[in-house]
Structure 1
């Protein structure tokens, strides 16, 4: 499928935080993929890894923007949960 791809890794202070973020965004795998891009997610200890394969640069950019937004929301939500007594 792919003529363009990207791999992004997000490192966290703890395995628990990485697991929380990975589990949060993993729910979207398969839901937002289409015939132009596919994404896989993996986690090793405190690192979350997203691999995106796309047919073209526009689809790759759109997928990257989407996944960066999803990870950002998961991180912000986890921060709010940590700050709540």
Structure 2
């Protein structure tokens, strides 16, 4: 069966502010990493980020979903770590 195939990745966060920071981190990739077979759109509503991945075939859909889940996960981890950085400067 040929495409288009679509999946919506809905990622809830503990606050709208955190969802906004993650959204702003991954938004520049919309359009930049689209391929010949896959595209994505990004929407944030409150504390939830939704990415819709559309692909011509199931292999491309899986690759697109993996890419976006990795990007969101990385942005989420970076956001978590941002609040824990401490200065090592003395004095």
TM-score, scaled to structure 2: 0.88
Partner residue of 1:65?
66
Partner residue of 1:45?
46
Partner residue of 1:12?
13
Deviations 1:22-53 (A, max 9, x none): 11011100011022011000000100000011
Structure number, greater radius of gyration: 2
The runs of at least 4 consecutive aligned structure 1 residues that moved more than 3 Å come to none
Offset, 1:84: 2.3
SS across alignment from 2:40: strand
SS across alignment from 2:64: helix
Count of residue pairs the alignment pairs up: 84
CA RMSD of aligned residues (A): 1.0
1:35 paired with 2:36, answer yes
Partner residue of 1:74?
75
TM-score, scaled to structure 1: 0.94
Gaps of 5+ in 1: none
